């Protein structure tokens, strides 16, 4: 075999299928690629992604993860429902967030980042809630939480979180963090916020103890006045902390990795068992 033929074969083996095909199955498999492959696909849009992330306070790895699941970095992608561009914006969503041309990569990514920022703010920083709402709409997530009874949304959320975790853990020098709950006297750092749903006759004191927070801090975070009464079904914003492996530094990329690990754990409850460890309704 000639050297040129070898090169051609190597190229076919290395280039992801989504580059050669435009089928939905190819896009669906995009989150299964190795993190270095996803980064290579994101390369042409890196500057815009970083700019949009900084402008809206969104982790750039989350933007890449959403694009991975939405379009597999195909700027001309159009879904069967009419969503278009890298971040698959519907016409109404594009107008809502100031996007004139959905297929302009700069406008599309900035518009998608604005929408994600809006969703993260709405759901207290919870990535799984924001991701589910990006696919199913905030109305359904307001009603069902992350347990939206739509298979497409559940699959989509898993794919985004899978890509997000891969990209966050793939940072050079990033150490895999140990996920812990806060505990009185423990040395841990708050790295993300989550939502907890009150069940039955649980009290604010119960939730505070569960997360290692002081009752006063938990009440202040949720603007609950004395005597600190809560009701079944009420959602509380809680702080989630973690600690690093010995010698690991608390950097921005490490905090992103820890938050990603927490949310990945939230999104994969134990089989055949209601998992309320983190207060989400699955």
Q: Which residues are catalytic?
A: 70
Backbone phi and psi for residue 240, each to the nearest 5 degrees, phi listed first: -115, 130
How far is 67 from 85, CA to CA, in rounded Å? Answer: 9
| Residues β-bridged to residue 84 | 78, 89
How far is 46 from 49, CA to CA, in rounded Å? Answer: 5
How far is 51 from 55, CA to CA, in rounded Å? Answer: 6
168-196: string of b/e by CB count within 10 Å (b at 16+)? bbbbeebbebebebbeeeeebeebbbbbb
Which string of DSSP letters, residue by residue, matches 178-192? EE----TT---EEEE
């Amino acid at each position: 075999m000639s050297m040129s033929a070898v090169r051609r074969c190597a190229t076919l083996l290395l280039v992801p299928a989504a580059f050669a095909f435009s089928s939905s199955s190819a896009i669906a498999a995009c989150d299964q690629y190795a993190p270095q492959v996803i980064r290579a696909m994101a390369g042409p849009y890196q500057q815009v992604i970083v700019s949009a992330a900084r402008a809206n306070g969104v982790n750039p790895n989350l933007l890449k993860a959403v694009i991975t699941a939405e379009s597999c970095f195909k700027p001309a992608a159009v879904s069967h429902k009419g969503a278009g561009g890298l971040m698959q914006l519907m016409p109404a969503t594009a107008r809502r967030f100031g996007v004139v041309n959905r297929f302009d990569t700069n406008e599309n990514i900035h518009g998608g980042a604005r929408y994600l920022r809006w969703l993260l703010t709405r759901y207290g920083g919870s990535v799984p809630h924001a991701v589910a709402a990006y696919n199913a709409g905030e109305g359904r997530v307001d009603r069902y939480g992350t347990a939206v009874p739509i298979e497409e949304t559940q699959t989509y959320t898993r794919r985004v979180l899978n890509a997000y975790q891969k990209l966050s853990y793939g940072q050079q020098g990033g150490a895999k963090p140990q996920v812990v709950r806060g505990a009185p006297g423990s040395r841990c750092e708050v790295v993300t916020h989550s939502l907890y749903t009150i069940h039955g006759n649980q009290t604010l004191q119960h939730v505070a103890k569960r997360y290692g927070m002081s009752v006063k801090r938990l009440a202040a975070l949720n603007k609950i006045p004395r005597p600190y009464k809560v009701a079944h079904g009420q959602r509380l914003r809680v702080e989630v902390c973690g600690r690093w492996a010995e010698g690991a530094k608390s950097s921005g990329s490490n905090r992103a990795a820890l938050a990603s690990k927490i949310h990945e754990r939230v999104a994969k409850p134990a089989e055949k068992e209601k998992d309320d460890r983190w207060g989400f309704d699955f």
